[in-house]
Amino acid sequence: MDTERENHQPLEHSLDSLLRPKVWDEYIGQENIKKNLNILIEAARERGQMPEHVLLYGPAGLGKTTLVYIIGSVLGVPVQTASGPMIERAGDIVSLASTLESGGVLFIDEIHRLNKNIEETLYPIMESGGISIMVGKGPTARSVHINLPPIVIIAATTQVGKLSTPLRTRFSGGIMRLLPYNEEEIAHILIRSAERLDVVLENTAATALAQRSRSTPRTANYLLKRVRDYAQVHNKPSITAEVVRAALADRDIDEYGLTAEDRNVLTTIQEIFNGGPVGVQTLATTLSEDTQTVEEVYEPFLVQIGLLERTPRGRSITQKGIEYLKNKKD
């Protein structure tokens, strides 16, 4: 039975697409990036060309994918998505690009995880829109040139430092850094999302949620959906600041938006490694997590709010981090 159609209600996972802005005017914040992308795109469009390749970087959840889809829609072209680790052979890039029959956006997420050998096959594609590949073996081997449709590569990464210089410098349209959002911007995003979800979100509740959203729209929308569930099950007609506090306390999310897992990272450094420094691999093993999760999920926000420090010798808890844990115990 197709419940989605019958109830005229989108399924939970498709809410993400409902909440995602589709045009520039709906996209809140990142003013500098919007301005620069807009010029790049408009200028290329007037010339009847594809814009030059762009690299977007910044922590997860700040809206990199959302920007890519807006760019595709402004250009009026399709978007084909891929991710660094998914591309295993040169032929994979050729087939991805070929699906964009008359041109479009090729979005490569997590480009820092692209295999180094593949990286080199990207260069001619980025520079001349074509690629030469060897077919056959031994004496019959020959090089075949393949022309690809006009594409703009938009790549995204959370770790720009892991990109080689030759790759990084080929993003001639610009290397753009997404910045964390301020609370006002997050509250604005939440109010818009609440309208789309058809729930009543009081202004004080939007502020309380924004404070706990780790400067990240993805987290904000996730928390809003969980608070909405809580309000619905507890028969609350609207989301108030009190509903936000109660719903998030049940999930062990504190007033900074830190979870029990985040606190565990700090406690482990303090209690097992005497406050640090401890190497990220050792830390990850102790937490039973992989290094990438520690680096990309836990650390960025703990560093951003000054509870954790990354030093060349490893990770250390800061004075502020020590005080944070002490207040939790009191």
Which residues here bind ligand ADE, judged by CB under 6 A?
A: 20-21, 26-29, 63, 66, 189, 217
Cα–Cα distances in angstroms (integers) from residue 47 to residues 44, 166, 174, in the given order? 5, 27, 18
Q: Which residues of 66-76 are buried (b: 16+ CB within 10 A; e: fewer)?
A: bbbbbbbebbe
Q: For this structure, is 320 an active site residue?
A: no
Question: Annotated catalytic residue: which of 157, 158, 240, 318?
Answer: 158
Q: Are 144 and 132 in contact (CB under 8 A)?
A: yes
Residues β-bridged to residue 80: 106
Q: Are 55 and 176 in contact (CB under 8 A)?
A: yes
Instruction: Give yes or no for a cis peptide into 277 (omega within 30° of 0).
Output: yes
- CB nearer to ligand ADE: give 187 or 253: 187
Question: Annotated catalytic residue: which of 170, 212, 214, 218?
Answer: 218
- CB nearer to ligand ADE: give 28 or 114: 28
Per DSSP, 106 falls in state E
Q: For this structure, is 218 an active site residue?
A: yes
Q: For this structure, is 328 an active site residue?
A: no
CB of 188 to ligand ADE, least distance (A): 8
- For the chain, report the end-to-end CA distance as a whole number of angstroms: 53
Q: Phi and psi for 271 in degrees, rounded to 5?
A: -85, -35
CB of 221 to ligand ADE, least distance (A): 6
CB of 196 to ligand ADE, least distance (A): 10
Q: For this structure, is 20 an active site residue?
A: no
CB of 181 to ligand ADE, least distance (A): 7
- CB nearer to ligand ADE: give 27 or 273: 27
Query: What CA–CA distance (Å, rounded) separates 10 from 18?
Result: 9
CB of 218 to ligand ADE, least distance (A): 7
- CB nearer to ligand ADE: give 27 or 57: 27
Q: For this structure, is 22 an active site residue?
A: no
- CB nearer to ligand ADE: give 19 or 125: 19
> Catalytic amino acids?
64-65, 109, 158, 218
